[in-house]
Structure 1
Amino acid sequence: MAKEFLKTHDAAFAHRPPRVSVEIAMYNYKSLSYGEGDYHKNIRRMRSMELFTAKRVTSFTKIIRDELVSVSTSGWSLGKRCENVQAATMAEITELQCHDSHPYEQDLLSSDDPEAREFVEVIDELLEAAGSFSLADYFPSISWLDWSIARCRQAHCKMDAFLDKVLS
């Protein structure tokens, strides 16, 4: 029964559920991680043929190895302190990785360059706005009441302005 269900309805459940904040932040789902349909197929083809070639992927071997060692070490230290390793959520692991092991972020935060500080602030604001709870995801008819949509649009406009400034 499950095999028949998945055979007939797999396409309906194969995509991510729509989120208003992601739609705003990712240019109407036009990104590597949220694209669907023909656009997504073309992006995926370009990514596999040009961006993630075998030569480029092997050039990241040292970085990948260092990250795996870092995650393993943090999990081992949690286990050594007799804490439940499974209780460490993906967000906590990401937090460990982003804030503890990346010296470039510390360089950006401690930099005197105002553009570097602005970049970190804009990214943090956009991620916080896009990751916040939105009523419009569950009740689209009341999207005009949802304050998180306005916040996400404002953060998206700041990101656009920052990118325009950097690219011009």
Structure 2
Amino acid sequence: MRPSRTEKGAQGRLLGRRWWGGIRPLRWRWAVLAVVALGVVLGLGAYGAIRYRLGIDLQAHSCLESSRVFLIDTFAGPEEVIQGDLVAFRAQGLGVPAFEGRLFVKHAAGVPGDWVTVTLAETAINGMPMAQGLALAPALKRDPAGLLRHERVPVEHFWMLGETCGGPQVKDSFSQKLS
């Protein structure tokens, strides 16, 4: 016996229902997967935006020759800083109004407990020469004799050392509390 036309049509519709029935759940699953993936990407992006900042050196002559763009981890605290690390901080109490509150990136040359000796000829940390002269004293209109010292770096402070744009061997330094 041959099936009638209505039976063929019924079979065709039944196959169509099976085909669409299989696609609809797949579309729904892909939509859920896409929403979850978007949530993960946005969540990681928000975390990254809160934790990290980009620091860009816009000077004509970069003072830190190693880089012009810095990824700054805002969650890292002072307890994680070791001697020689590059540290980003906002200047406080330097006695130079133009620097107050500005973002700096410098090397942590001295950590709490280190001895710093500043003379007209050099700056030394624990007796090891780290910088020559007082390059920024004239530019900052400061008397070099007022910068001379022999002191221990206080708790929660670091002795910051940066290269001055005047040349690769010329460096500037100062004590800074990191919070």
TM-score range, shorter chain: under 0.3
Higher strand share: 2
Q: TM-score, normalised by structure 2?
A: 0.21
Structure index of larger Rg: 2
Higher helix share: 1
Q: Which one has more relative contact order, counting CA pairs under 8 Å at least 6 apart?
A: 1
Q: TM-score, normalised by structure 1?
A: 0.22
